[in-house]
């Protein structure tokens, strides 16, 4: 049965994990409510990401360029590319996220959910958790 992780305005449904695929990939569906966003732009150098739009339109900022992903469209995020996402539309947007190889798994998202849903998240704890799992936060000006 798929594992669902609620991060507030973002919900993940894990379909395959690094444990299921012997490290080949992580696969999850992500639903972004209107105005949802990745609060901290970041990069990682241990995996690539492919995003496939299922419904609505999500916007991905990759190395300073905004790319809208509508149903049936994809975007590839190579290792080292600074990125984040948002849903600027008035309705939810859902996409399929493929991380290859699968080195992240659901535990990172569970830890982030606990921090984000605890009230006022501590930025230092968010950063520490990201770094521990291989996501490097990037301050943008």
Task: Concatenate the DSSP letters of all residues of 78-94 into one string.
Answer: -TT--EEEE--SSS-EE
The yes-or-no verdict on residue 141 having pLDDT over 60 is: no
| Whether this model's pTM surpasses 0.85 | yes
Q: Residue 67: which residues within 8 A CB-CB, separation 6 or more?
A: 59, 60, 61, 75
Domains of the chain by residue range: 3-135
126: pLDDT confidence band, cut at 50, 70 and 90? very high
Q: Name the token pair of 59.
A: 């916007």
The yes-or-no verdict on residue 57 having pLDDT over 70 is: yes
Mean pLDDT of the chain: 94
Which among 105, 127, 124 has a CA at the least distance from the CA of 12?
A: 105
The yes-or-no verdict on residue 39 having pLDDT over 80 is: no
CB 54 within 8 A of CB 87: no
- The pLDDT tens digits of the residues spanning 58-103 come to 999 999 999 999 999 999 999 999 999 999 999 999 999 999 999 9
Q: What CATH number should be reported for the domain whose range is 3-135?
A: 2.60.120.10
Q: Which residue is listed with tokens 């959910």? A: 113
């Amino acid at each position: 049965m798929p594992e669902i992780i609620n991060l507030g305005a973002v919900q993940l449904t894990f379909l395959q994990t690094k444990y299921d695929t012997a490290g080949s990939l992580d696969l999850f569906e992500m639903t972004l409510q209107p105005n949802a966003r990745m609060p901290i732009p970041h990069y990682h150098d241990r995996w690539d990401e492919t995003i496939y739009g299922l419904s609505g339109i999500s916007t991905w900022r990759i190395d300073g360029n905004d790319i809208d992903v509508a149903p049936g469209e994809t975007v590839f995020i190579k290792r080292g590319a600074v990125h984040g996402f948002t849903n600027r539309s008035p309705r939810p947007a859902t996409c399929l996220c493929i991380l290859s190889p699968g080195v992240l798994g659901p535990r990172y998202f569970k830890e982030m959910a606990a921090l984000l849903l605890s009230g006022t998240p501590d930025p230092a704890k968010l950063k520490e958790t990201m770094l521990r799992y291989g996501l490097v936060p990037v301050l943008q000006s």
